[in-house]
A and B are shown apart, each in its own frame.
Chain A
Amino acid sequence: MFKYTLRRILYSVLILFFVMFLVYLLMSNMPSGYIEQKARELASRPGAGKSYSEWLEDLNAQYGMDKGVIRGYFVWLSNAITGKWGDSWAWTKPVTQEFHETVWFSFILGLVSFIFEIIIAIPLGITAAKKQYSFTDYFTSVISMVCISMPTFFIATILKYVFSVKLGWFDLSGMQGRNYMNLSRTGQILDVAKHFILPCITIIIISIGGLMRYTRTNMLEVLNADYIRTARAKGVPEKKVINYHAFRNTLIPLVTTLGGSLPGLFAGALITETLFSIRGIGYASYSSMTQADIPFTMFYLTFISILTLLGNLISDLLYAVVDPRVRLS
């Protein structure tokens, strides 16, 4: 197991190297990037002294973008390995500081939604499978299909319309109420929590559909297995058949997929955060990308790549943990 993990990590490093190179290639070839814009701005200032192309050359040298793609990539890589991620162009502060300020909001948003998603979707999926083709089954299937099909911005807009505009329970967007500064410490936390409710609901609604269907399908497959019939023939009470014998087997695919998505909790929810103006990592990365902020985007994409690779590794390792038939070597 240890050897396997080590080998997988080495592979992951290799994959990461090439992924980041591709990202760097794309970023440095973006038409009208941050530097071009800056150069245009400076050149059009009264008394600029230098023309656009002169400014561009200057700025490229200043920002270290004049080394060509390959050399530039290795310079970036050697800096990144030593922990020097540079300063964000758009936020004008160190990349890691901006990351640290935003990621925890995303994490809390992700974690809360993740927990609720599991609590809601898995029992519903099991109930639907237990009573296949019943009203409950059709009802949950329709609900999950609706949840899967609706785009995030649509759900968010409906929620905003109902709960913010019509009922006035929550603010339309943002993370703090208007008198945030006058509140006590706990009051401030509660205020932020209240602003997180609608984004959380949005994420939960989009994600439960898939998990519910996944649970149902796997549960149905297990319930039709011979060993479930054996368990019943042994006289095991029906409840225990479902919750112990069948669920333990359904858990195998569930744990591996959910375990694999654990690192994703840090990735942020780009669309939801943007729609609700939550200053999370998704929102930050989105604004960085629109402003062609290469250092921050590179950092964020590296981070996402690592999370994805880590997620795959975790799900493979979990397979061996929950399924005795799987041995890693």
Chain B
Amino acid sequence: MAEEKKKSSYISGRESLKITRFNRKVTKKLEEERANAIKDPKLYTTKMKDENNVVEFDNVCTYFFTDVGTVKSVDGVNFSIPKHATVGVVGESGCGKSVTSLSLMQLLARPSGQVVGGQIRLNQGDGTALDIAKTPNSVLEKIRGAKISMIFQEPMTALNPVFKIGQQVDEVLQIHNPEMSPEDVKAHTLHMLELVGIANKEGVYEMYPHELSGGMRQRICIAIALACSPSLIIADEPTTALDVTIQAQILELLQSLKDKMNASIMLITHDLGVVAGMADYVVVMYSGRIVEKGTADDIFHHPAHPYTIGLMKSKPVVGKKVDKLYNIPGSVPNPVDMPNYCYFRDRCEMQCDKCKGQYPPEFKISDTHVVSCYRYFEEGEQLGYPQSVDVSKLI
């Protein structure tokens, strides 16, 4: 046993060299492919499956080629973000929530992080769609900040400390609207600052980030994200670093601005309370895969996957007295060598015989509710399996 354990975490020099060489080869090839795509827009334009979606994730696989092996951070993720809707993505730390959003923005730590399979389709609004994973950087730069924008977790460090607030908001407008005059840009910036609830907008325009509080800074980040009226706002744990009062204010602000701008929100969080209050649809992720997705009502009132049920149970409820708060036993498995059976099996309290088999496919248990668990083998309509990418075939 002890030896086996040692084996799993220890890598010999030769192995490490092999991995490094392989990683370099793969990442180089993928980078070249992306760089070559610039020659022909056909290589990265596709069609949406459903025109009412802003973004469709279709079996997206985002892998990190690290020195200890390939980490499948996101492995066959399937979901879509409808227009004007809020989609909450929940799951514990390290389950691939943020990596999913970064794949959409293509802000992964390249070259080690790569989208190796599947499609991320972004609706262009004219019947065509962009396949984000294959789109060259120069095209993406026009999309980031203008069509999709992102609000990050840490408002304290998300703003550049050496530039004034005004400059930072102005910049995003100038980049995406080069025809705007400096006066117009400033006027729009001030308007945005007002919109996010900053009282002293003229003063704040001239301030540096360190002169503002955390909540104020997050408001600035929201102003930057919304300045170009994007069709999708990704909020990556926007309130984790803020205290509860400010948290409520920020979420309210986000919700109201979303309605004003007719945008969609992809809300990433591990706070179920936040999701319950904001989201229309909820996606539950575990170890890089989606275990359950559905409307907020489906997930909160009829949770189907044992993991979701566990999550709900481990949430304290106001007014309900319990001796001990429930917790899901065990922890997330090692992402380097994932087994080919349900990732949650070893922690699951509701195992059945089928669980010994391969990773479960998706089962549709109602029009909106999809779950990946063999417990619904009988009643649910079987959809596809999440497809992994065989990295050795990439070369």
Contacts and interface: CB of A to CB of B under 8 A. Distances in A.
B160 A249 contact: yes
Contacts of B49: none
A250 B364 CA distance: 53
Interface string A83-107: 0000000000000000000000000
Interface stretch (A144-152, A230-238, A278-286): A230-238
B308 to A, nearest CB: 30
Most chain A CB neighbours (cut-off 10 Å) among B137, B145, B159: B145
Contacts of B152: 226, 229-230, 233
Interface string A248-263: 1100100000000000
B107 A233 contact: yes
B141 A248 contact: no
A255 to B, nearest CB: 12
Interface in B161-191: 161-163, 171-172, 175-176
Interface in A275-326: 322-325
Nearest to A231: B160
A242 to B, nearest CB: 13
A235 B107 contact: no
A325 B164 CA distance: 11
A17 interface: no
Contacts, number: 73
Contacts of B157: 225-227
B143 interface: yes
A31 to B, nearest CB: 55
B372 to A, nearest CB: 31
B28 to A, nearest CB: 10
Contacts of A248: 160, 162-163
B221 interface: yes
B162 A252 contact: yes
B162 A324 contact: yes
Which of A226, A227, A235 neighbours the largest number of chain B CB atoms within 10 Å of its CB?
A: A235
Contacts of A235: 141-146, 172, 175-176
A229 B210 CA distance: 18
Interface residues of B, number: 29
B224 interface: yes
B149 A233 contact: yes
A136 to B, nearest CB: 14
Nearest to B234: A233
A40 interface: no
A322 B144 CA distance: 29
B196 interface: no
A249 B162 contact: yes
Nearest to A227: B160
B154 interface: yes
A7 to B, nearest CB: 25
Contacts of B145: 233-236
Contacts of A229: 107, 152, 158
A225 B152 CA distance: 12
Contacts of A225: 157
Given A226-B152, A229-B107, A324-B208, A236 B158 contact: no
A231 B149 CA distance: 11
Contacts of A252: 162
B105 interface: yes
Nearest to B169: A234
Contact of A233 (B144, B160, B176): B144
18 contacts: A226-B158, A227-B159, A229-B107, A229-B152, A229-B158, A233-B107, A234-B149, A234-B172, A234-B224, A235-B144, A236-B141, A238-B137, A245-B160, A248-B162, A248-B163, A252-B162, A322-B162, A324-B208
Interface of A: 225-227, 229-238, 245, 248-249, 252, 322-325
10 interchain residue pairs of minimum CB distance: A235-B145, A235-B144, A226-B157, A234-B145, A227-B160, A233-B150, A234-B172, A324-B208, A230-B158, A325-B210
Given A236-B145, A324-B210, A325-B210, 10 more contacts: A226-B157, A227-B159, A227-B161, A229-B158, A232-B144, A233-B107, A236-B141, A236-B175, A237-B175, A324-B208
